[in-house]
Amino acid sequence: MVKRSWAEPYKIKSVELLKMTTKAEREAAIAEAGYNTFLLRSEDVYIDLLTDSGTSAMSDLQWAALMRGDEAYAGSRNFYELERTVQEHYGYRYLVPCHQGRGAENIMSQILIKKGDYIPGNMYFTTTRLHQELAGGEFVDVIIDEAHDPANEHPFKGNVDMAKMAALVDRVGADKVPYISLEGNVNMAGGQPFSMENLRQLRSFCDKYNILIMLDATRTVENAFFIQQREAGYANKTVKQILREICDMTEGCTMSAKKDSLVNIGGFFACNDETIYRKAINLVVVYEGLHTYGGMAGRDMEALAQGIRESVMDEHQKARIGQVHYLGHLLEKEGVPIVQPLGSHAIFLDAKRFLPHVDQDLYPAQALAAALYVDSGIRSMERGNVSAGRDPKTGQNRRPKLELVRLTIPRRVYTQAHMDVVAESVIEIYEKRNQIKGLRMIYEPEYLRFFQARFAPVDGVGE
């Protein structure tokens, strides 16, 4: 058989120079940042794998789109272009632009949630759950158990457990469950997809109980790619067709366009129901901006429309996910514990197996992210006990089953050689893992603490 590797369906036209730092400089920088990679200055970072959110490289056509910005306060032609593009690719009738995903989450949560409601979801996401709670709801995790086991190789770990859904409806009554929040390529589970078969089962369950399915569409194009690759009957469908099939089974979505859609800022709420839409445009003018821009400049809406068209190209997804898996395979070969199967947007180090000597309340994933930065200037993100926050009822750390460090790959930004350097550094600190100590939290903000919390090293190993 002829071998053909994945390779980028683009070439590089412009580059951004990076500053190189010494180990002593990085030690000083991480101490100054309170051992929180969010608090580092980006100029002190060599390879930035903090997030794939807003960090993608735009194409020449997207940069050209910026020049087509119609910066009218009302009725910008870029809004109508974006509306047409969302209708074509995501299929929803009504579009409400928002400045980014959490703007859309705020609006949707306020419209659909009443105090005392329960919101099932295929695992929590930090901002999504917070908006549900602020609107008076309680999040209920209904993802399959396999998703909480980093070593489990289930191909669709983003699936909803239908028995958990049924148990929730039995316990609280369907009238207390306005919608399920269904996330494509579940971020906190390691970028794991749901299957079309699971979505069909969910659709018929929700029809029976009159529960809406609201998609978190943030990485649903990447979910569509996994369906094409893994699910029987989909090998000959395009990513674009699969995305429409997913969306057509749901009532609406919130979207952080900063991920799949290859832009640096933007998002939207979209739906099919006119009453919900009317409420959304009523709220968007309070929190975001007029309903024809919702916090985005005209030029940003034009670049987003172009980004959506590029995101559904099969060859784009093949190279994007090919690069993430290239890094994953390098780490697998050396026995570094990572979440399986490999996800779409990141490789997740399993900090519980990496640092078994550090108790979860000494934040092993936070400590590992800091150690990786000191070793090589690579910035990653904690996705464990710090991100999970405290249980509002008990005030205790949630101590989630997954204690992960996310090596998130921005789209179209880094090369294969960068991935080699990342793997070399992770492997080196894996060999020296016994030297890594835990951290204690010395400053804790009230909301989304992972963004701004500060830490200090503990004295003894595991303390």
Q: Is 69 exposed, middle or buried (0-12, 13-18, 19+ CB in 10 A)?
A: middle
Residue 53 vs 317, nearer CB to ligand PM9: 53
Catalytic residue among 37, 55, 126, 254: 126
Q: Considering only 22-30, 71-79, 100-108, 130-138, which stretch makes contact with ligand PM9 by CB under 6 A?
A: 100-108
Q: Considering only 95-103, 154-162, 237-245, 281-289, which stretch makes contact with ligand PM9 by CB under 6 A?
A: 95-103
d(CA 247, CA 87) in angstroms, rounded, equals 10
Residue 21 vs 187, nearer CB to ligand PM9: 187
Q: Cα-flanking dihedrals φ and ψ of residue 443, to 5°? A: -145, 130
Residues 236-265: x/- map of binding to ligand PM9 (CB under 6 A)? --------------------x-x-------
For the question of residue 254 being annotated catalytic, the response is no
For the question of residue 46 being annotated catalytic, the response is no
The footprint of ligand PM9 on residues 168-207 (CB under 6 A) is 183, 187
Q: 291-314 burial, b for 16+ CB within 10 Å, e for fewer?
A: bbbbbbbbbbbbbbbbbbbbbbbe
Q: Examine residue 102 and tell whether it contacts ligand PM9 (CB under 6 A).
A: yes
Q: Examine residue 279 and tell whether it contacts ligand PM9 (CB under 6 A).
A: no
Q: Which residue is nearest to ligand PM9 (CB)?
A: 101
DSSP codes joined into one string, 128-172 = HHHHHHHTT-EEEE-B-GGGG-TT---TTTT-B-HHHHHHHHHHH
d(CA 67, CA 57) in angstroms, rounded, equals 17
* Strand ranges, E, within 247-344: 252-256, 267-271
Among 81, 216, 222, 403, binds ligand PM9 (CB under 6 A): 216
**Minimal distance, residue 161 CB to ligand PM9, in Å:** 19
Residue type, 246: I
Q: Cα-flanking dihedrals φ and ψ of residue 114, to 5°? A: -105, 155
Catalytic residue among 52, 216, 300, 350: 216
Residue 267 vs 307, nearer CB to ligand PM9: 267
Contacts of 360 (CB under 8 A, 6+ apart): 352, 384, 385, 397, 399, 403
For the question of residue 216 being annotated catalytic, the response is yes
Nearest to 218 by CA among 178, 252, 261: 261
For the question of residue 447 being annotated catalytic, the response is no
Residue 35 vs 430, nearer CB to ligand PM9: 35
Residue 21 vs 158, nearer CB to ligand PM9: 158
For the question of residue 73 being annotated catalytic, the response is yes
> Residues 66, 72, 76, CA angle at the centre, nearest 5°?
70
**Minimal distance, residue 157 CB to ligand PM9, in Å:** 15
Q: Examine residue 127 and tell whether it contacts ligand PM9 (CB under 6 A).
A: yes
The footprint of ligand PM9 on residues 49-68 (CB under 6 A) is 51, 53
**DSSP structure class, residue 304:** H
Residue 117 vs 216, nearer CB to ligand PM9: 216
Residue 102 vs 291, nearer CB to ligand PM9: 102
For the question of residue 125 being annotated catalytic, the response is yes
Q: Cα-flanking dihedrals φ and ψ of residue 424, to 5°? A: -60, -40
Q: Examine residue 109 and tell whether it contacts ligand PM9 (CB under 6 A).
A: no
Q: How many residues bind ligand PM9 (CB under 6 A)?
A: 16
Q: Examine residue 267 and tell whether it contacts ligand PM9 (CB under 6 A).
A: yes
Contacts of 413 (CB under 8 A, 6+ apart): 55, 56, 57
Q: Is 280 exposed, middle or buried (0-12, 13-18, 19+ CB in 10 A)?
A: buried
Q: Examine residue 298 and tell whether it contacts ligand PM9 (CB under 6 A).
A: no
Binding site for ligand PM9 (CB under 6 A): 51, 53, 100-102, 125-128, 183, 187, 216, 218, 256, 258, 267
